[in-house]
Amino acid sequence: MAHVTTVVFDMGNVLLRWTPFEFAWNYAATEGEARAVADSIFDSAEWPLVDAGALSERTMLAIAKTRLPERLHPVLEETYANYHNLQRRIWATNRLAFALHRAGARLCILSNVGQRFRYLGPRIPIFGLTDGIVISAFERVMKPDPAIYEIFCKRFGLAPETCVFVDDSAKNLIGAREVGMRTVHFTGDVEALRRELAELGVPGAASYRAPRDADEPFDIGDAVRARIPQVLDRLIAEGGARVEDDPRPGPGEEPLWADLYRP
């Protein structure tokens, strides 16, 4: 059996929390309004098309407006414009990933997410540690289609049997297993994740012991922060991002990620 050396993480509810109601609740006056706004976008039949790169954000917003009274349009617009800044980091999972990386494991990300990942990515604490990222909207193919896992392995020259894919959705593990990757269904229990990775022989998993403050923010360090622009450039070049706006700073502007990870 091949030694597992690469851990491939999903993003939503693994590295960052995906809580649409909370996003809208930041701007809505009532819980009912927040639910209506969240449902009009994130729980809509069209949202997967945004993740697939088949529907633009502008069109998604226009469709969502047709489902809401005009008085809620400002709440909708604020929610949609800012939700990427409202996704809370799952520090315990990222802390474990840092330990695996220090022990020699490679870290990667594979996620069903739209073009907004160009802004979301730098919010992930391990973003600057990753050796490869594949995003559904850039590839126009989504999990659990085996094709996206094949794209990932081929692009980064990885044998599937040396990779373990971690996802909170059991159905997304099906395609990964079909191409030969090991899989772990993440249920929110970081210690259970560590044990499963240890059983697969992932470097650092067996010896890792989570500190009492595992869920608290930590400083990722200047070296990791410095790699964020390089990782972002590589993602854009390899993934074929199609949007015109660019999250990288212009002359004299502060980088988007400058102060993200300091407690």
pLDDT (0 to 100) of residue 143? 98
Please state, for a pLDDT cut of 90, what percent of the chain lies above it. Answer: 86
Architecture per CATH, 6-16+89-238: 3-Layer(aba) Sandwich (3.40)
Residue 206 to residues 139, 166, 196, Cα–Cα distance (Å): 35, 17, 9
Cβ partners under 8 Å of residue 91, min gap 6:
125, 214, 215, 216, 217, 218
What is the pLDDT tens value at each position of the chain, 263 positions in all? 678 999 999 999 999 999 999 999 999 999 999 999 999 999 999 999 999 999 999 999 999 999 999 999 999 999 999 999 999 999 999 999 999 999 999 999 999 999 999 889 999 999 999 999 999 999 999 999 999 999 999 999 999 999 999 999 999 999 999 999 999 999 999 999 999 999 999 999 999 999 999 999 999 999 999 999 999 999 888 876 554 444 444 444 444 433 333 33
pLDDT (0 to 100) of residue 1? 67
Contacts 24+ apart (CB under 8 A), 223-227: 224/128, 224/129, 225/128, 225/257, 225/261, 226/128, 227/128, 227/129
Structural domain spans, the chain? 6-16+89-238, 20-86
Residue 226 neighbours by CB distance under 10 Å = 10
> pLDDT tens-digit profile of 201-254?
999 999 999 999 999 999 999 999 999 999 999 988 887 655 444 444 444 444
